[in-house]
Amino acid sequence: MGTLKGVVIEHQAIATSSLGHGEALGFTQDTRALQFTSYTFDACIAEMWTTLIHVGFTCVPSERDRHNSLSEAIRRISATWAFLTPTVARLLDRHEISPLSTLALGGEVSRSTDWDIWEGRVRLINGYRPTECCVFSNACLDVNASRSGVIGKSIASVSWVVDPNDHHRLATLGSVGELLVEGPILARGYLDYMEKTAAAFVCDPAWLLEIGRRGRLYETGHLVRYNADGGLVYVGRKDGQVKIRGQRVELGEIEHHVRECIPTVEQMVIMPGNKKEKAVVAVFVQQDNVSTEGGLAARAFFPTKVDEQLSERLPSYMVPGVYIESAKLPTTTSGKTDRWRLREIGASFSAQQLAELRTQSQGPKRQPTTAMEQALQQLWGQVLGIDSHTIGLDDSFSRLGGDSIAAMKLVVEARKQCIQFTAAMVFRASILHDLAILSPHSSTTAFEPLANFSLLSSSLYKATVSSGMQCRPFVALDRVEDIRPVSFVQEHYISDGQRNFVLPSTTSIWI
């Protein structure tokens, strides 16, 4: 999970930010702000200080109400303004919170349904708020834009979009880049963590110096792009990039498509056995009707229609390989879905367990019947590190965790048994039964290696050895492993009259 960091926020940053986002987010003297977030979560600054600066009221529910009856508490204390993560907002009963007039969502990526539920009932705000930028640095008040991931324009700060791999280069207009924030709302840095501070807060990038300015900026690690009206569209985390089957993949892109296909999901990448080369995409789905006996991850399932929809939207290597239902997803103290905890759960699965999870919901397995099918079953188990007897005829190589590297290993091992196919064929016919059909039956017959000197007749062999020993007396006959005749073209090139042979430029060469 990593070491917890303390962020040092100066008084001027709080004052500047509170005045800026207070106006943008609708704080007035009539505001009754719900103080819901943990004191370790910087949004509490807005709930308390921004409210008081604008002469409003801060309403603090009891810990019991926070965790057990939040909707009732909002109604009872007549809270009119609240900032919640989408995960927490989904828990509210819309019919019980009639006093609430403004709801700001932030802290994690929202879904279009999060805005649909509340539209027309409250004033909705999409707030973007890195802790290092003192609560809110951007906000979007347009519900339709928020559905598309727009986080709006800057608040008391300046936003810049740079090359994700080089903050000294601005990103081209409309392209995806990393968001940098400049202005008086920036934190001083991380508490007793100078190295991390120096890496995250950069000074005087080249493009800023070129326009005659100097400045200090915070690298958010978030990928964004500008839309047509100058607002910022959130794409995902920069460090959400992983390699799957040798391809760089942005997890936020997969998560976006998953959210479009199934409701209430949390997406992450599983590293079975903590081996990154075995990475597969897994989806954790919150379902109220799931038993949680024995742990958080209750059971795996396989939504065929969803898988088909995602296969149409995404390349095969980006399609999730595991779907796990749970009655409740873990959350952090700030109310966000705890991705680190989900990653820990995912990493605890072995390759064998993952394979079983990915295939157990597809019904009884058909077992191989032909020699080729049985041979491929053994090879798949060997390469993927799973029990071959758990692999059925209808199982997919990629769904069992196979990637491009595993496919290459499979080809090598198959050739040792005289079974011929390519790595491309493994993914083109990824079902074991289909691959067995494509593999030619003749490939199971071993080719007898040519015996040494077998290409020469006995008379030619004697003549060659005799002339060879005369020309190369320093080569012992017992050191010669084989003698093979040259082709017509080779004979032409090495003949005495062609020592300076030059190939005509018009000659076609096939390799």
Same fold, 7-238 and 371-444: no
The predicted pLDDT at position 446 comes to 45
Average pLDDT for 196-222: 93
Dig out the tokens for 70 from the structure. Answer: 């939040």
Count of CB atoms within 10 A of residue 100's CB? 23
Dig out the tokens for 395 from the structure. Answer: 């199982």
Question: 426-435, pLDDT tens digit by residue?
Answer: 888 889 999 9
**What's the topology of domain 245-362?**
GMP Synthetase; Chain A, domain 3 (3.30.300)
Could you tell me the residue ranges of all domains in the chain?
A: 7-238, 245-362, 371-444, 458-498
CA distance 378 to 390: 10
Residue 56's φ and ψ, nearest 5 degrees, are -100, -165
Question: 20-63, pLDDT tens digit by residue?
Answer: 999 999 999 999 999 999 888 889 999 999 999 999 999 999 88
Q: CATH number for the 371-444 domain, one of 1.10.3720.10, 3.40.50.1980, 3.40.50.2300, 1.10.1200.10?
A: 1.10.1200.10
CA distance 118 to 61: 22
Question: 449-463, pLDDT tens digit by residue?
Answer: 567 777 767 776 667
Is 262 a residue whose pLDDT tops 60? yes
Task: Pick the most confident of 94-98, 145-149, 159-163, 479-483.
Answer: 159-163
Contacts of 340 (CB under 8 A, 6+ apart): 1, 2
CATH 3.40.50.12780 corresponds to the domain 7-238: yes
Averaged confidence pLDDT in the chain: 80
What order do you get walking across the sheet with 265-270 strand by strand? 265-270, 280-286, 322-326, 299-301
Is 264 a residue whose pLDDT tops 60? no
Question: 266-310, pLDDT tens digit by residue?
Answer: 555 554 444 444 566 777 777 665 554 545 544 666 677 787 888
